[in-house]
Amino acid sequence: MRDKLIFSPWLSLAPALTIILVLLGASLLYAVAESIGFIGVIGQNQISLSAYRATLDSNSEFWTSLGFSLWVSIASTAISSAIALTLAVWLSERNGKMDTLALNWNLAFPHLVWSVALLLFLSQSGLFARWMASLSLISTPAEFPVIVRDRFGIGIILSYIGKEIPFLTITILSVLRSQSVGYDVVAENLGASRWQRLRYATIPQVTPALLAGSLLVFGFIFSSYEVPALLGVGYPRALPVLALRFFLDPDLRARSEGMVISLIITLIVVIVAVVSLRMKDER
């Protein structure tokens, strides 16, 4: 009876899991096959590692794109985590249900919609540039600083920060508000200063959740296509954007390099997800 109770959830999930595993497995097999030269559309059926050599060559654009993707992912995750921690601590002290309304409202918008809004407001031909020009703060909209579609990825980072802060804040806030004992209050009664309460009581409580959430955010940003494609430039470009460039190449043999990049992205994201799940289990 006990074994039946243990395995019953897995049996109920079996149909959905089977479909997911079949689709994922087929996609991975297809990607691996094309990455080693099996491209049935053009009748190419010989194993070749030339796509791996071309992608990982020291002069390849892959390394520039990898560095750019890591920069955007790490910067967005670090800034979002720091602001989310500060905001969650502040909201936990207020302890009001309406305080999280703006956070939940933000989560309702897809990343693509948020990015389009940034483009409309912050581009050199956007609303802010035109308003500043109409107020004679700048001579022409072209003098507005380049914030989106810049080579440093500032616009991309701003877009992700605006979307990931609410997610991480709600994650941290749920931990702080679920504690049965007010450790912060206890520390205050024992004479701890505000900084000491934050350092020795609050941060240790939320660190596992913050790290797990930050890793998920990093994995999502690293593998995301739409925001870098909309707010980025032609060079440097994020790895998913570079991969799609190979997929759209008129020469179908270039798809092998696109598959190599996609497999590398998948491997990195899977590693990050596994680490995040392990942290969640240890919490």
Q: Determine the Cα–Cα distance for residues 242 and 261; give it in Å rounded to an integer.
A: 8
The stretches of 178-202 forming alpha helices (DSSP H) are: 183-189, 194-197
Average pLDDT value over all residues in the chain: 83
Q: For the residues of 146-176, what is the DSSP string, one character each?
A: --SS-TT-HHHHHHHHHHHHHHHHHHHHHHH
Q: How confident is the model at residue 239 (pLDDT cuts 50, 70, 90)?
A: very high
Phi, psi (deg, nearest 5) at residue 46: -100, 135
Q: How many CA atoms lie within 13 A of 163 on its CB side?
A: 23
Stretch 193-200: mean pLDDT, rounded? Answer: 71
What gap in Å lies between CA 179 and CA 175, rounded to an integer? 7
Provide CB contacts within 8 A for 125, sequence distance 6+.
141
| CB proximity list for 85: less than 8 A, separation 6 or greater | 168, 172, 203, 206, 210
Who's near 170: CB < 8 A, 6+ residues apart? 100, 103, 104, 107
161 neighbors 167 (Cβ within 8 angstroms): no
Q: How far apart are CA 139 and CA 244, in angstroms?
A: 39
pLDDT of the residue at 11: 75
pLDDT 10s digits, 85-103:
988 888 877 765 656 676 7
- The token pair at 279 is 């942290």
* pLDDT tier for residue 70 given thresholds of 50, 70 and 90: very high
Q: Could you tell me where the DSSP H helices lie in the chain? A: 2-35, 50-55, 61-94, 101-107, 111-122, 127-134, 154-177, 183-189, 194-197, 203-223, 226-231, 239-247, 255-282
Q: In this model, does residue 1 exceed pLDDT 60? A: no
Nearest to 110 by CA among 158, 161, 163, 72: 163
Express as a percent the part of the chain with pLDDT over 70.
Answer: 85
Supply the pTM of this predicted model: 0.84
Which of 182, 188, 207, 227 lies closest to 279, judged by CA?
A: 207
pLDDT at 82 over 90: yes
In this prediction, residue 182 has a pLDDT band, given cuts at 50, 70 and 90, of: low
pLDDT computed for residue 138 by the predictor: 84
Q: What is the DSSP string of 206-218?
A: HHHHHHHHHHHHH
Q: State how far the Cα of 59 lies from the Cα of 2, in Å rounded to an integer.
A: 59
- Residue 140: predicted pLDDT: 86
